[in-house]
Amino acid sequence: MEVKARAPGKIILAGEHAVVHGSTAVAAAIDLYTYVTLRLPLQSAAENNDRLTLQLKDLPWSFPGPLKEVIPFDSNTSTPASCSGDTLKSIAVLVEEQNIPEEKIWLSSGISTFLWLYTSIRGFNPATVIITTELPYGSGLGSSAAFCVALTSALIASSISDKTHREGWCSLDETNLELLNKWAFEGEKIIHGKPSGIDNTVSAYGNMIKFCSGEITRLQSNMPLRMLITNTKVGRNTKALVSGVSERTVRHPYAMKSVFNAVDSISKELAAIIQSKDEVSVTEKEESIKELMEINQGLLQSMGVSHSSIDTVIRTTLKHKLTSKLTGAGGGGCVLTLLPTGTVVDKAVEELESYGFQCFTASIGGNGAEICF
């Protein structure tokens, strides 16, 4: 039996980092996906195929023996719970023993998360899991969340009793969506340390959302919204950037509180503009969004999460009268540039690409997690 799932990446339009500290943020799904195929062995063939095999695009690899013998911790229950420190340590040792090549070591946190989510939801049952992605890793487009959401969608789908073949991708019902989003959040904790939950939530539910302390408001956009995405290709790690902001907050709690409050106002105003049905012209709305992005970028700079490569993108796009801000965790990664109606972006793209950056557009606000039998 085979189950497939896919989950989208995301952009954060406003509020990254501050959202970890209780501010509002606005995020939207994009049409770049992580795909998971879960192959379960036939009951009759189970004795001959008792392994768990994970095939990643970047690292084909399978466990050295039956899961029950290699996994040094108990499998979990059907309700989402956090991975304990001891279990995480055991998983880390197990992953270390797999001798992942040094140049692929950044995949370790993904593999640890895979092991924990898999055994928590499916126990020690054998399977082959194939994971591919269209998202750049560690670049601010939510590759970690799409990974956790697509994986938990496939794992949960494998236990749905009605597996009648249907044409194409279909969404999960609200109960399963809520369940997989909780599991994915627990997975994100292993990769991010202290995630706000916005990335897994927008990947699970899709569309555009306003998010504050776990509370989700689905937004209905009433204006065209086009963004150029520029990948600076400067690698970075969300966990380290999030903990850097927390350390700065411990050192300067009052100053940082003001920064987070300002970001909260920006996100709320942005959400209101996007949803507004007023007579205000699109051009005026775009002007307001541009200014809010500029202020948000300044505040991200003051949190210490920008980077010289991001500054280069901002300066370059400004020459073409376009406004940009980082998206996701920053420190390199991807930058968003608002493309107001009628913008011809070729010259700006040419210049950005001459620095070795990669530019692309993505459709914003599409579907969330989907499955296919």
Ligand X SMILES: C[C@@](O)(CCO)CC(=O)[O-]
Token pair 């085979």 is at which residue?
A: 2
Asked whether position 195 contacts ligand X by CB under 6 A, the answer is yes
For residue 54, give the nearest of 122, 125, 144, 115 by alpha carbon.
115
Residue 34 interface partner, choices ligand ATP, Mg ion, ligand X, none, CB cut-off 5-8 Å depending on type: ligand ATP
Asked whether position 236 contacts ligand X by CB under 6 A, the answer is no
DSSP SS3 for 37 = strand
- Pick the closer one to ligand ATP by CB: 145 or 339: 145
Contacts 24+ apart (CB under 8 A), 210-214: 210/24, 210/25, 210/26, 210/267, 210/268, 210/271, 211/15, 211/19, 211/24, 211/25, 211/26, 211/27, 212/19, 212/22, 212/23, 212/24, 212/25, 212/264, 213/22
User: Do residues 181 and 138 make contact, with C-beta atoms less than 8 angstroms apart?
Assistant: no
- Residues 6+ positions from 216 with CB-CB distance below 8 Å: 201, 205, 209, 210
Asked whether position 19 contacts ligand X by CB under 6 A, the answer is yes
Asked whether position 237 contacts ligand X by CB under 6 A, the answer is no
Tell me how far apart the alpha carbons of residues 112 and 127 are, in angstroms, rounded to a whole number: 17
Asked whether position 337 contacts Mg ion by CB under 5 A, the answer is no
Measured CA distances, 84 to 81, 88, 189 (Å): 9, 6, 11
Taking the complex as a whole, the smallest distance from the CB of residue 80 to ligand X amounts, in Å, to 17
User: Do residues 90 and 72 make contact, with C-beta atoms less than 8 angstroms apart?
Assistant: yes
User: Do residues 52 and 131 make contact, with C-beta atoms less than 8 angstroms apart?
Assistant: no
Binding mask 130-169 for ligand X (x = CB under 6 A): ------------x---------------------------
Query: How long, in residues, is the chain?
Result: 373
Kindly name the residue from 199, 264, 278, 346 that is annotated as catalytic.
Answer: 199
Tokens of 154: 């496939």
Tell me how far apart the alpha carbons of residues 328 and 324 are, in angstroms, rounded to a whole number: 13
Taking the complex as a whole, the smallest distance from the CB of residue 139 to ligand ATP amounts, in Å, to 5
Question: Among 13-21, 68-76, 148-156, 360-368, which window interacts with ligand X (CB under 6 A)?
Answer: 13-21
Taking the complex as a whole, the smallest distance from the CB of residue 285 to ligand ATP amounts, in Å, to 26
Asked whether position 328 contacts ligand X by CB under 6 A, the answer is yes
Among 192, 285, 307, 325, binds ligand X (CB under 6 A): 192
Asked whether position 20 contacts ligand X by CB under 6 A, the answer is yes
Q: What residues between 266 and 285 interact with ligand X by CB under 6 A?
A: none
Taking the complex as a whole, the smallest distance from the CB of residue 166 to ligand X amounts, in Å, to 32
- Pick the closer one to ligand X by CB: 113 or 238: 238
- Say how far residue 103 (Cα) sits from the centre of its chain: 22
Tokens of 309: 């490569």
Can 173 be counted among the known catalytic residues? no
Residue 153 interface partner, choices ligand X, ligand ATP, Mg ion, none, CB cut-off 5-8 Å depending on type: none
- Residues 6+ positions from 173 with CB-CB distance below 8 Å: none
Question: Among 192-200, 217-225, 275-283, 349-357, which window interacts with ligand X (CB under 6 A)?
Answer: 192-200
Residue 196 interface partner, choices Mg ion, ligand X, ligand ATP, none, CB cut-off 5-8 Å depending on type: ligand X
Q: Contact residues for ligand ATP (CB under 6 A)?
A: 34, 56, 106-107, 109-110, 131, 133, 137-145, 147, 191-192, 199, 237-238, 328-329
Asked whether position 201 contacts Mg ion by CB under 5 A, the answer is no
Catalytic residue list: 199
Under the rule (CB under 6 A), what is the footprint of ligand X? 12, 16-17, 19-20, 142, 192, 195-196, 198-199, 238, 242, 328-329
Under the rule (CB under 5 A), what is the footprint of Mg ion? 144, 238
